[in-house]
A and B are shown apart, each in its own frame.
Chain A
Amino acid sequence: MNLAFNILLFGRMLRAAGLDIHHGRLLDALRALEWVNVGSRTDVAATLRSLLVHERDEIVRFDRAFDLFFKAHRPPAPGLPLFPLGERPRVVAQPAAGVPVQTEFEDIHAGPSSATRAVGAWSAASVSRTKDFGEFTERELESARALLEHFPWRLGRRRTRRWQRASSGAPDLRPMLRRAVMTGDLLDLPRRARREAPRPIVLLGDVSGSMERYSRILVHFVYGLAQSATRVEVFLFATRLTRVTRHLMTRRGDAALARLAREVQDWGGGTRIGEALRAFNTRWARRVIRNGPIVLIVSDGWDRGDPVILSQELGRVRRCCRRLIWLNPLLGGADYEPLTRGMQAALGHVDDFLPAHNLVSLEQLADHLRALPARTQPVAWRARASAASEPPERSGAEGPPRATG
């Protein structure tokens, strides 16, 4: 049987299954098969896997495709549909009928767009800056979306380990030497300093039933943040934790949001914050907590899980990050007290407990992130509880709401 033909066909099948297969690698694979025992199924699989797969998450898909393809004595004839794989991971499963979020996103597609997108429109927008997000009408949501997608996030900076030329700092010896050789003296010292980069952000957003009024604005907020210059990792949770970072890495906001809605299967479900955080800590933290990130948790703190777990896992998150900020949309209410068990368990661990219920509170958050102070003791929440309900004029002189004690 023509091996080359079969390998090319297999490559087509893998592509259909959503793997990124290059022609060059297929040629490598053909060459490589001359050197291994083609009588051994294990060896052939290992050979093709080594050369065609370069991602751990693709291994399962590859193995399944391999089994399917080489189980039959004859490979499928060309022209046969090549999708009997059971799934095509690049095309995500259709959402179950009646998922509310899906239809809401459809509304967004239909609505007016892009007219009010300029950053300059921020203050002139027809959206009240102090109105609670939960009470937004469809129209206001649409305007807010345009604003949030282009929200001018400027994040606190961290010093990297990489050097660049600077006007002051440590002497830069290499150009100094070159100059010294040319001119014969060492008077003029070139300098270098550590380069700075924006601090990365990890966001964990609650999309459970109790957050429903805010979850649409939350995804706009998250998308806008992901478009900022820094590295942003985003997870959404209700009962389960879903990483959605790669769905946000697109320039098309509406497409990104529609994909989010499909990907997060427990949207609108119950909340288990502690379990979600545990999943984050055990499965993801080691991979995404890098370079001293700011961790933002957006949740109302209504939790059906065990508060002991929540406290334990939150403590661990805090020890791994530069700053842990809890954003609670309910904190905007004048008479809100964080009495839920979840919130009580959380308060001992967070660095900042801030409102996130209207545009003013988000502006204040942006100011806060820009000038992030050094870590203090966990917060006393009361000092700032009402800060965002009274709109300060945007003079710029006022600092972000911050507890001092």
Chain B
Amino acid sequence: MIQPASVDGLQQAMASQHYIAGRGLAVSTYLALRLQRPLFLEGEPGVGKTEVAKVLASTLETELIRLQCYEGLDISHAVYEWNYPRQILEIRLLESAHALEPRAAERELFTDTFLIKRPLLRAIEQTRERPPVLLIDEIDRADEEFEGYLLELLSDFQITIPELGTIRAVQPPVVVITSNRTREVHDALKRRCVYCWIDYPSVETERRIIAARQPGVSERLAEQVAAFVHELRGAELYKTAGVSETLDWAAALVALDRDELDAATIEETLGILLKNQEDMQAVRGEPVQAMLNRALARGAGG
């Protein structure tokens, strides 16, 4: 599929890529495509934000360009950088050939050959027939300066390199921005985007996600895993389990040849769900048993 014709079409296309999107997410994604605006996804870690971009790229049959954000991310890592070692080498070569002539050298040294293209520039530059999907991942890790730059980029989709000139996108890329909300991203940026908060899925949706992603998991186990993780998220923990942890856990249980949950197995594999010593201690023993009982009762009841 290239351009989905409707929300349902998109939802089905994503499902065929093993991504079970809730209705809200499907509508937001569809609108972002139609309005040609960035899709801003917020949610707890591990609810499948990054995955949306990957699935979107394969649905649209185009390239995925990913920019992972971190503090201090600057133009030389996000947009472009000159290849200094090669440029210096070139100067030395010209010198030794006694051919160094400042004006000509400047023209020669600042050309495409010496340019290292980083994700944002690659997303803007048109070399393919279809615009790529640009994933700006975990923007909350970058600092405010970068946000300001991004704001400018996302409004005109053009990049100016002083030595080369301005490069403008013929077709704007499909932009997906994700944030774990470790800080508030500036309103001005969010306002330009289609916003979607991704919550933890319901038990039923999570069961379907497990079934779609981990085909080796029996139906019964998938049901129990989804119900148990749901209970776990209700406990007061520093860092609870995301969907990606659920999937890892389901895979681990299959690897251990389990087709049913029991308290001993849960305790042995708890480290896949919880990544925090205090949290693990808090649920070990009785709480695990209680959560398991509730989870099993849910399966029996419904």
- If A25-B191, A184-B91 are given as contacts, then 7 extra A-B residue pairs at C-beta distance below 8 Å, sorted by A number, are A37-B7, A49-B24, A51-B195, A174-B76, A184-B100, A282-B237, A285-B238
On B, residues with C-beta under 8 Å from A are 6-7, 23-24, 26-28, 30-32, 34-35, 37, 40, 42, 70-72, 74, 76, 82, 84, 87-88, 91, 95, 100, 102, 105-106, 109, 143, 145, 181-183, 187, 190-191, 193-197, 236-239, 278
With a cutoff of 8 Å between Cβ atoms, the chain A residues found around residue B239 in the complex are: 286
A375 at the interface (CB under 8 A from B): no
**What separation, in Å, do the CA atoms of A184 and B37 have in the docked complex?**
47
- Asked, given contacts A50-B196, A51-B194, A290-B183, whether A181 binds B109 with beta carbons under 8 Å apart, the answer is yes
Partner of B72, one of A161, A177, A180: A161
B109 close to A42 (CB less than 8 A): no
A182 close to B106 (CB less than 8 A): yes
**What separation, in Å, do the CA atoms of A182 and B109 have in the docked complex?**
11
With a cutoff of 8 Å between Cβ atoms, the chain B residues found around residue A177 in the complex are: 82, 84, 87-88, 109
Partner of A173, one of B35, B84, B193: B84
With a cutoff of 8 Å between Cβ atoms, the chain B residues found around residue A162 in the complex are: 71-72, 74, 143, 145
B194 close to A163 (CB less than 8 A): no
**What separation, in Å, do the CA atoms of A79 and B37 have in the docked complex?**
35
With a cutoff of 8 Å between Cβ atoms, the chain A residues found around residue B191 in the complex are: 22, 25, 54
B72 close to A50 (CB less than 8 A): no
**What separation, in Å, do the CA atoms of A285 and B181 have in the docked complex?**
12
For the residues of A in contact with B, the DSSP-based class is helix
With a cutoff of 8 Å between Cβ atoms, the chain B residues found around residue A182 in the complex are: 102, 106
Which A84-127 residues have C-beta < 8 A from chain B?
Answer: none
B88 close to A160 (CB less than 8 A): no
On A, residues with C-beta under 8 Å from B are 20, 22, 25, 28, 31-32, 35-37, 42-43, 46-47, 49-51, 53-56, 59, 160-163, 173-174, 176-177, 180-184, 186, 278, 281-282, 285-288, 290-291, 312, 316
Across the two chains, which residue of chain A brings its CB closest to B40? Answer: A54
Partner of A35, one of B34, B42, B181: B34
The 3 A-B pairs with the shortest beta carbon distances in the complex, nearest first, are A161-B72, A46-B27, A54-B190
- Asked, given contacts A162-B145, A177-B109, A182-B106, whether A36 binds B27 with beta carbons under 8 Å apart, the answer is yes
**What separation, in Å, do the CA atoms of A32 and B6 have in the docked complex?**
12
Chain A nearest CB from B80 CB (Å) reads 11
A290 close to B24 (CB less than 8 A): no
The 27 listed contacts between A and B (C-beta, < 8 Å) are A20-B187, A28-B35, A28-B37, A31-B35, A35-B30, A36-B27, A36-B31, A37-B6, A43-B23, A46-B24, A46-B26, A46-B27, A49-B195, A50-B27, A51-B195, A54-B40, A54-B195, A161-B70, A174-B82, A177-B84, A177-B109, A180-B91, A182-B102, A184-B95, A281-B238, A287-B181, A316-B238
